A and B are shown apart, each in its own frame.
Chain A
Amino acid sequence: DAMVIQNPRYQVTQFGKPVTLSCSQTLNHNVMYWYQQKSSQAPKLLFHYYDKDFNNEADTPDNFQSRRPNTSFCFLDIRSPGLGDAAMYLCATSKRLTAFDEQFFGPGTRLTVL
């Protein structure tokens, strides 16, 4: 089945140690998103790619970066994780950037920072 896949499902890192989260999709969608979801809070959009065009939300910390080497893959890099970065990270895709186009979510990666 076509889907959005996130690896790993659980990631533990140490304070300040760089970490990369991975997302892949078989939907051939143009748009890929990264959301941060902290406990008991709403998912918050960090950034998205439309094809190769990168769009950073205004309040996304510089500590968070992303790469999209091809249509299928997108990575979230956290350069120096702090305790406050512990969260569920959700990847999503959509065909276009309109409300007509449903966003399809992956299962998420739960990041723990020790």
Chain B
Amino acid sequence: AQTVTQSQPEMSVQEAETVTLSCTYDTSESNYYLFWYKQPPSRQMILVIRQEAYKQQNATENRFSVNFQKAAKSFSLKISDSQLGDTAMYFCAFMNHMNSGYSTLTFGKGTMLLVSP
């Protein structure tokens, strides 16, 4: 079974600064996908960024980028130029790539990020 570990329950950052959220995972699979989801207070969870394990290049979406270290099974999220609207719970998640059958998301426990003025 896969496990996803987020070791930082809470983090704080000031507006315009950069913050990195950590995530490690454990799997015996070689082909899989990793995700960061954002869940703002009282709002729905949305996908922030996705990384395919067979791609060496780190994914980037505007101010959000990842540092994917496959050998170390590490998948951190960097948020540049933090904004107040980035305040949210951030979940790291894992999904196997299945050639047949199906796969489901395994989430970490989340990191609560607070961006202050």
Question: Which are the 4 A-B pairs with shortest beta-carbon distances?
Answer: A97-B102, A99-B33, A42-B107, A105-B45
Establish whether residues A40 and B103, one from each chain, have CB atoms under 8 Å apart when the complex forms.
Answer: no
In the assembled complex, the Cα of A102 lies from the Cα of B98 at a distance in Å of 15
Residues in A neighbouring B4, C-beta threshold 8 A: 42
Establish whether residues B47 and A97, one from each chain, have CB atoms under 8 Å apart when the complex forms.
Answer: no
Q: How many residues of A contact B (CB 8 A)?
A: 23
Establish whether residues B44 and A98, one from each chain, have CB atoms under 8 Å apart when the complex forms.
Answer: no
Dominant SS at the A interface? Answer: loop
Establish whether residues A42 and B110, one from each chain, have CB atoms under 8 Å apart when the complex forms.
Answer: yes
Q: How many residues of B contact A (CB 8 A)?
A: 27
B interface residues (Cβ-Cβ under 8 A, vs A): 4, 9, 32-33, 37, 42-47, 50, 52, 91, 95-98, 102-110
Establish whether residues A50 and B102, one from each chain, have CB atoms under 8 Å apart when the complex forms.
Answer: yes
The interface bits of chain A over 45-75 (1 if a CB of B lies within 8 angstroms of the residue's CB, else 0) are: 1001010000101000000000000000000
- The distance from the CB of A40 to the nearest CB of chain B, in whole angstroms, is 7
In the complex, the chain B residue whose C-beta lies closest to that of A88 is: B39
A interface residues (Cβ-Cβ under 8 A, vs B): 4, 33, 40-45, 48, 50, 55, 57, 90, 92, 97-99, 102-103, 105-108
Given A98-B98, A99-B33, A99-B95, A45:B105 Cβ within 8 A: yes
